[in-house]
Amino acid sequence: MKVSADFARTFGDALKEHLDKKGIDYAKAAPLLGVTKAALSTYWNDDKNKKRRKPRAELLFLACMNLEFAFEFNGFRISAATLGNRSTKPVAVSEQLHLDYYRQFKLTDDDGRVSVRLKRGPDRVDFSVSLKAVS
């Protein structure tokens, strides 16, 4: 059925774009959707027959709920919303933090310094950068 193939392609492209736009790592998204990272990529990559994997209803629901995913298909918006006063807590996703730095900085001499620290834990990564400006 043509609609099914079109839906699979639209879903896969929209999901990949959503994850990339939100900066959600595929390895972190996969367990939230109940699939492996390899299985997740089959939704936006064609198989050897140039077809896409069709999403299960549960995967579509989990994507909408856990990742705040929504997309349009044939004039319909597909998303999830709570009913009444029931609240859902979306999964926290790391976001990039933008820090402005307005002082002169040179790495070619001893005046300016950069210190970078990376610490990996079981479920998180701490990254810190320290800058010393030129006087």
Boundaries of every domain in the chain: 2-78
Higher pLDDT, 98 or 26: 26
CA distance 11 to 71: 7
- List the structure tokens of 41: 């990529």
Mean pLDDT across the chain: 80
Query: Residue 32: phi, psi to the nearest 5?
Result: -70, -20
Q: How far is CA 6 from the centre of its chain?
A: 23
pTM of the model: 0.60
What is the share, in percent, of the chain residues with pLDDT greater than 90?
A: 47
The residue type of 119 is K
Options 1.10.3470, 1.10.10, 1.10.3210, 1.10.260; CATH for 2-78 is: 1.10.260
Over residues 65-111, the pLDDT tens digits come to 899 999 999 888 999 887 765 555 555 555 555 556 566 656 555 66
